[in-house]
Amino acid sequence: MPGYARSVLWRILLVGAGLYAISGCVTLDESGKRAFLLTTPQQEAQMGAASFAQLKQSGQLSGDPVANAQVERVARRLIAQVNVPNAQWEVVVFDDPTPNAFALPGGKIGVHTGILPIAQTDDALAAVLGHELAHVTLRHGGQRVSQQLAVAGVAAVTDVALAMNEVRQRESIMTGLGVGASLGLVLPFSRSNEYEADRYGLYYMARAGYDPEAAIGFWQRMKAYADQRGGKPPEWLSTHPADENRIAQIRQLIPEARAMAAGR
């Protein structure tokens, strides 16, 4: 890369990083941490409601009374432990064999029937749903959207600057920028959110009266499920932590979660 092009690129990245650091910093109510957010809770709730409506329209809802009763029972106990202002809570079980569950801003909870045989018990299901609710209380969805907007903005400005200066390596530079942003920012940020959701989810389930030890068994079964299907990519290429790493963190957090529950 010519020296001038490199200089232009670094200037743009430094400006983008500065804007990222100061323009949208918000203190989160749940954790007290500072987070980069360009969205409001109201906007996040609107996006969550719209996405959930689409999922209900395109997906198959489960008519299994046992599955619906279990999910509703566990979800309601956990909901009582979290603070999501102005939430319009809705719990839906989808007839889908994929082992998945999610919670969206605004109070929308979805559970696939495929995760229930892996969860097996109410306690393990509480670990799953506690984790998903933590994504909402910690506003991880809004942080991801904000990060994507920031990365897209820096990329757009970089592309224009390279074009204006007729940099021949423009395409390769933009490709490198995209890969670097993914490996150096987006994926580590996503994994960090997952670890944080594990932590707070464990607190929620313990406060709701569930055994946090069940989270270990659940992730062990999830690892076995993935291994039977060829395993997962290495952690550094994934949006999620390696199962063995999240299990190790959960083991360390169990005494704290139990103490928190005892003091509630």
Rg (CA), the chain: 21
Residues near 85 by beta carbon (within 8 Å), at least 6 away in sequence: 41
Nearest to 86 by CA among 140, 52, 143, 136: 136
Are β-strands 108-112 and 25-27 bridged in parallel, bridged antiparallel, or unpaired? unpaired
- Annotated catalytic residue, options 44, 72, 90, 132: 132
Whether 77 and 208 have beta carbons less than 8 Å apart is answered as yes
132 carries an active-site annotation:
yes
- CA 159 vs CA 171, 239, 258: distances in Å: 9, 26, 51
Q: How far is CA 247 from the centre of its chain?
A: 17
Q: Which residues pair with 26 in a beta bridge?
A: 35
Tokens of 60: 């198959």
Which residues are catalytic, by number? 132
